Amino acid sequence: MNILVVGAGPAGLYFSYLARRLQPRWRIRVVEQNPPDATFGFGVVFSDKALEFLRGDDPQTYDAITPHMEAWTDLTVVHRGTPVVIDGIGFSAIGRLTFLRLMQQRAASVGIEPEFLKTLSSSGELKGYDLVVAADGANSIVRGVADFGTTITALTNKFAWFGTKKIFPTLTQTFVENEHGSFNAHHYRHSPEMSTFVFECDARTWQRVGFSGMAETATLQFCENVFADTLGGHRLVSNKSVWRNFPNVRNARWHAGNVVLIGDALRTAHFSIGSGTRLAMEDAIALTKSLVEHENEIPEALTAFEAARRPIVEKLLAAADASGSWYDRFPEQMKLAPRDFAWSYIQRSGRIDPARLRKISPKFVDG
């Protein structure tokens, strides 16, 4: 089989690694527009048991990545300066660049060397392959070659992805209200020396502040001032930290002809539930499995991939959508007292009912 993989993010790298490992005869070409050490953002978090889903089938990758992860067992919600700890809601995190390097090493260990600085720019370049794996992210170019029934809906909040040298003990959600409006920061350490700091606010606040016409230094300074207590004198660091609206990407069809979508090209999951990277890797696992089971029968393999994966993905997306829309409306919740606010926060995705919460977070519920 002759496979083209477009994109060497988590989805493309993990798919090509797994496919080569399971079927060394397959020819796999990976193209990536960026150099190997380019990345946006700082860290990524993984919810719950992080990479547990890899442990059984791919202990080598699990062992390669987990020593580089930061992990904690509680989550903190800060509202009106009052921290409320929600016990038992564990997360782990890793720098995105560290993660990509480790995935590149895993791919290299089975002979996969992506062609970096190679941008796929025309549909003609997709010809001559038995299978094309579109792992080219939320703004996928490959998606343009067929009718996948794509919809992209932007959430209304504005966010920018920063870093800071301040090291936070847990994943913390800090909410601040001032004369301009309401602000939120998602912040967590992703290495012993560095934390991720995602700054977010609603569209009206963003306009009132005048962020659209503000230079980068002034923007950083404004954000630092809003979260001065949280940062404790530390600076924010920028890395292509442009203002964005989160795009909810959905596709009615997951494959067309010999082209299949995986990762963010297939769908995005709001970052507040910390699942986009894991979903991308799980897509890679499911796709490889279907291809191995239906070798030389691409249409059957792609149908089986979608049938197996769609119900799981849709459940998670329902939670991600609910969480994303809670953030889009968070200023309405700011009138709540800190503990009620934390309760609203933790119920936002609809995944944790009060009975389950009592089991997971007994101290918080008792409080």
Ligand X SMILES: Cc1cc2nc3c(=O)[nH]c(=O)nc-3n(C[C@H](O)[C@H](O)[C@H](O)COP(=O)(O)OP(=O)(O)OC[C@H]3O[C@@H](n4cnc5c(N)ncnc54)[C@H](O)[C@@H]3O)c2cc1C
Separation of alpha carbons 339 and 323, rounded Å:
18
Among 51, 97, 141, 209, binds ligand X (CB under 6 A): 141
Among 44, 131, 298, 357, binds ligand X (CB under 6 A): 44
Q: How far is the CB of 221 from ligand X (least distance, A)?
A: 21
Provide CB contacts within 8 A for 105, sequence distance 6+: 64
Among 3, 4, 5, 12, binds ligand X (CB under 6 A): 12
The window from 30-38, 249-257, 316-324, 332-340 that contacts ligand X (CB under 6 A) reads 30-38
Q: What is the DSSP string of 192-252?
A: TTEEEEEEEE-HHHHHHHTGGG--HHHHHHHHHHHTHHHHTTPPEEESS---B--EEEEES
Percent of residues in the chain assigned helix, strand, coil, to nearest 5: 40, 25, 35
Residue among 290 and 354 whose Cβ is closer to ligand X? 290
Beta strand 82-86 pairing with 27-31: unpaired
Q: How far is the CB of 241 from ligand X (least distance, A)?
A: 10
Residue 274 is a binding residue for ligand X (CB under 6 A): yes
Q: What Å distances lie between residue 264 and 29, 87, 326, CA to CA?
A: 20, 30, 21
The window from 31-39, 67-75, 221-229, 343-351 that contacts ligand X (CB under 6 A) reads 31-39
Cβ neighbours around 273 below 10 Å, total:
22
Beta strand 2-6 pairing with 131-134: parallel
Window 179 to 208, contacts with ligand X (CB under 6 A)? 198
Q: Give me 274's structure tokens.
A: 């910390």
Separation of alpha carbons 311 and 292, rounded Å:
21
Separation of alpha carbons 171 and 188, rounded Å:
4
Residue 251 is a binding residue for ligand X (CB under 6 A): no
Residue 271 is a binding residue for ligand X (CB under 6 A): yes
Residue among 82 and 164 whose Cβ is closer to ligand X? 164
Q: How far is the CB of 335 from ligand X (least distance, A)?
A: 27
Residue among 96 and 289 whose Cβ is closer to ligand X? 96
Q: How far is the CB of 208 from ligand X (least distance, A)?
A: 22
Residue among 118 and 339 whose Cβ is closer to ligand X? 118
Q: Give me 280's structure tokens.
A: 């991308």
Residue 8 is a binding residue for ligand X (CB under 6 A): yes
Q: How far is the CB of 114 from ligand X (least distance, A)?
A: 9
Query: Which residues bind to ligand X, rule: CB under 6 A?
Result: 6-12, 31-34, 41, 44-46, 119-120, 135-137, 141, 159, 161, 198, 263-264, 271, 274-278, 280
